[in-house]
């Protein structure tokens, strides 16, 4: 059962069983599944990338070296 959820083998298992059940249609069905998963991932990435950017937790840190008057500023996210 764990092998079904292992990302390294998921599509290989789907391809194997679809060939067993659907013979000639297997390639088209597996391609449709891959396309659907890619579209789903792209939608997820677009949605959550925008949320991450809008709720970023960046802050500025001032660093002084050897008690010099100059300081460097860096942005950490």
Tens of pLDDT, residues 1-46: 677 778 788 888 889 999 999 999 999 999 999 999 899 999 998 8
According to the model, what pLDDT value does residue 22 have? 95
The closest alpha carbon to 7, from 52, 37, 36, belongs to: 37
Rounded (10°) angle between helices 10-22 and 26-54: 150
pTM: 0.54
Residue 19: the pLDDT is 95
Long-range pairs of 17-23 with CB within 8 A, sequence gap ≥ 24: none
Contact 56, 77 (CB under 8 A): yes
d(CA 52, CA 48): 6
């Amino acid at each position: 059962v764990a092998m079904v959820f292992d990302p390294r083998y998921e599509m290989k298992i789907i391809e194997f069983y679809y060939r067993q059940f659907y013979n000639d249609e297997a390639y088209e069905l597996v391609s449709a599944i891959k396309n659907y998963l890619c579209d789903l991932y792209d939608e997820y990435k677009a949605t959550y990338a925008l949320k991450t950017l809008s709720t970023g937790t960046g802050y500025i840190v001032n660093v002084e070296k050897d008690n010099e008057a100059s300081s460097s500023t860096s942005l950490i996210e």
